[in-house]
Amino acid sequence: MLAMVRSCAIIGLDGALVEVEVDITNGLAAFIIVGLPDAAVNEAKERVRSAVKNSGCLFPFKHITVNLAPADLRKEGPAYDLPIAVGILFASGQINPNEELENALFLGELSLDGTVRHTNGILPMVALAREKHVKAVFVPAVDAVEATLIEGVTVYPVETLGQLIAHLNGIKQLEPYTRDPHILDNVKEALYLQNMSSVRGQEHVKRALEVAASGGHNILMSGPPGSGKTLLARTTVGYQN
């Protein structure tokens, strides 16, 4: 049986769509991943096998081929664990076909017990989802906050593979992560390294820093050792908003 699940690769700072194709056929039991996978991606085989078994599902003892398309893009990192697992479960009939699956991106590293772990690069991946008009993303629960910085995409925080299977099979819905509208407001109440008031004198330098901060200008401070240049530099963050 054939299945396809969408995921994402990172090139530089942007995401690129990766289609995880899974084909399960009769034949000598094997599990092959193609699509220029690096070492971490190849190790997904072990993690996916254990995670699937430990989530109360069957790991098909058949000939499994996973193709990470496009074939000439190198695939790196453990973010493909979750989509590969979902693809295998879908292709072996343990997840029912549904529209949601076709219109979503899946990302996340798996633990052997089925927990979905923190994965790097979630933000560019979700940005790609919005660009490609993908409706939903399933990301590690610990990274859901990062994912909600992008508007227009429904973010489902996934704690375990079992939880995701239950959601896709309609047994127990996952709550989409609700964006905290005040998250960016709290940026003002941050603790800064140094406060300007701890610097005595140097009024004209402080004024220059104020002009620099307001217009985003570069600034060079020149002077003898010990006069406060480094101290002043460390206070500049206090002026940014």
Partner 1 sequence: MLAMARSCAIVGLDGALVEVEVDISNGLAAFMIVGLPDAAVNEAKERVRAAIKNSGCLFPYKHITVNLAPADLRKEGPAYDLPIAVGILLASGQLTSDEVLRDSLFLGELSLDGGIRHTNGILPMVALASERRIKAVFVPAVDAAEATLVKGTTVYPVETLGQLVAHLNKERQIEPYQRDMSLLENIHEAVYLQDMSSVRGQEHVKRALEVAASGGHNILMSGPPGCGKTLLARTVSSILPRMVIEEALEITKVYSVSGMLPSDTPLILQRPFRSPHHTTSHAGLVGGGRLPRPGEISLAHRGVLFLDELPEFGQNVLEVLRQPLEDKVVTISRAQGAVTYPANFMLVAAQNPCPCGFYGDPVRECTCSVTAITRYQKRVSGPLLDRIDIHVEVPRVDYEKLADKRKVEDSATIRARVQAARERQLLRFTGTKLTCNAEMGPAEVRDFCQVDASAEKLLKAAMQQLHLSARAFHRALKLARSIADLAESETIAANHVAEAIQYRPRMGT
The residue ranges that bind partner 1 (CB under 8 A) are 2, 4, 19, 21-23, 25, 32, 34-36, 65, 67, 69-72
Query: What radius of gyration, in Å, describes the C-alpha atoms of the chain?
Result: 24
Residues 3 and 23: their CA atoms lie apart, in Å, by 6
- Cβ–Cβ under 8 Å, residues 206 and 200: no
Q: Tokens 């407001």 label which residue?
A: 185
For partner 1, give the closer residue by CB, 62 or 206.
62
Closest contact distance (angstroms) between CB of 17 and partner 1 is 11
Closest contact distance (angstroms) between CB of 22 and partner 1 is 7
Residues 95 and 150: their CA atoms lie apart, in Å, by 28
User: Taking CA 121 as the corner, what is the angle to CA 119 and CA 125, rounded to the nearest 5 degrees?
Assistant: 110
Residues 66 and 4: their CA atoms lie apart, in Å, by 10
For partner 1, give the closer residue by CB, 32 or 237.
32
Closest contact distance (angstroms) between CB of 21 and partner 1 is 4
For partner 1, give the closer residue by CB, 35 or 124.
35
Closest contact distance (angstroms) between CB of 53 and partner 1 is 24
For partner 1, give the closer residue by CB, 207 or 217.
217
For partner 1, give the closer residue by CB, 43 or 159.
43
E strand intervals along the chain: 2-11, 14-25, 30-34, 63-69, 104-106, 109-110, 116-117, 136-140, 154-158
CA distances from 187 to 111, 233, 238 (A): 33, 20, 11
Q: Tokens 């996916």 label which residue?
A: 48
For partner 1, give the closer residue by CB, 193 or 219.
219
- H or E segment to which residue 231 belongs: helix 229-235
Task: Give the CB-side neighbour count of residue 132, counting CA atoms within 13 A.
Answer: 20
Closest contact distance (angstroms) between CB of 27 and partner 1 is 9
Closest contact distance (angstroms) between CB of 12 and partner 1 is 14
